[in-house]
Amino acid sequence: MHTPLVSIIVPIYKVEPYLRRCLDSIINQTYTNLEIILVDDGSPDGCPQICDEYAAKDKRIVVIHKENGGLSDARNAGLDICKGEYISFVDSDDWVDVEYIEELIKPNSKNQYDIVIADYQQSNEPIDSHHILLQASSINDKQNIISAFCHLQYPPCAWAKLYRAKFIKENKLKFYKGILYEDQLWSCHLAILAKRIFILSNKIYYYTIRDNSIMQSHNIPFEKHITSWKVILSNENKIFSHCSNITSKDIDYFFLQKTTEILNKAHNNWPYFKKSFLTIAESLNKNPIAYWLKFSTYPKKIIFFLLNKVPQIASQLVLFYYFKK
């Protein structure tokens, strides 16, 4: 039986309390033909020493020590050297089921999929929570793949997935550096380009919520969020505009969810909310309220229609209080 090499890329930065749990879950996989790439992104704690310690014990481990460049840069460094036929990403504060790779690679024993997607368990959620809204199945039609992505029927994260390396390299896919939420732009590119994907309904990836993580940190200036959203929305809008396999209904639903997500992050602060609103409008060349006109209830449609007839600042204010409520 063919057992292709699988490269697991682990970006590492200031996760000393979690790193051993992560690495133990990887080296103890039931699927053993692995290349484990640990990318020490200039971590100032004991992580570099832990990486070297594990590499000394397991010849499958390759360690990269580099200057801090952020999550995208660390993942890209792993992509630059990986040799596997398949690639998977595991964040260093998370951990995976002992059969993680075996379950992800199993569908490829009969067919070649560009991406195999698994569900995950978040540390602050009930045990019966689910993030994948599809039945376990293959999706072999580009329009259905894009529609599933736009309707958030699977998570837009880089981890909890197995990628065909040839697919990644032929399309010269890399993570956009210097922004937050980089997984969303990465996932958008993949959804547009993929020809065949497979969905697994079982939860085999364990995602850790921690207060001092990049995404949970309150020390990140709001301007960094604004800059990141502008890059992501503008690029996603551009990607969709050049894609013939996407419907206007899918686009509207996708950006409705995006605007909701972005405005929710600023709803308790009027100056932040106003900046977010304007960022969305500039990036998409469309007033965010237009999305609610298509998807909201009839009474709200009337309200939003009237809002479009009043000065923009008034519509922003009403929408701000709508979210706050």
pLDDT band at 275 (very low <50, low <70, confident <90, very high): very high
Is residue 189 within 8 A of residue 174, CB to CB? The reply is no
Predicted local distance difference test score (pLDDT) of residue 288: 82
**Residue 282 CB coordination number (10 Å):** 12
> What is the DSSP secondary-structure string of 197-219?
EEEEEEEEEEEPP-TTSTTT-S-
Q: What is the mean pLDDT of residues 221-225?
A: 93
Predicted local distance difference test score (pLDDT) of residue 192: 96
Question: At how many degrees (to 10) do helices 47-57 and 16-27 cross?
Answer: 20
Please list the alpha-helical segments (H only) found in the chain.
16-27, 47-57, 71-81, 100-105, 142-150, 165-170, 182-193, 222-241, 248-264, 270-284, 289-295, 298-307, 312-324
Check pLDDT > 60 for residue 216.
Answer: no
CATH fold group of domain 6-207: Spore Coat Polysaccharide Biosynthesis Protein SpsA; Chain A (3.90.550)
Check pLDDT > 70 for residue 303.
Answer: no
Domain limits, the chain: 6-207, 222-324
113/275 Cα distance (integer angstroms): 41
Q: What is the mean pLDDT of residues 295-306?
A: 65
pLDDT band at 300 (very low <50, low <70, confident <90, very high): low
Is residue 231 within 8 A of residue 185, CB to CB? The reply is yes
Check pLDDT > 90 for residue 154.
Answer: yes
Q: pTM value?
A: 0.91
Higher pLDDT, 68 or 267: 68
Check pLDDT > 80 for residue 325.
Answer: no
Is residue 216 within 8 A of residue 264, CB to CB? The reply is no
Is residue 60 within 8 A of residue 31, CB to CB? The reply is no
Higher pLDDT, 294 or 172: 172
Q: Which amino acid is at 236?
A: E
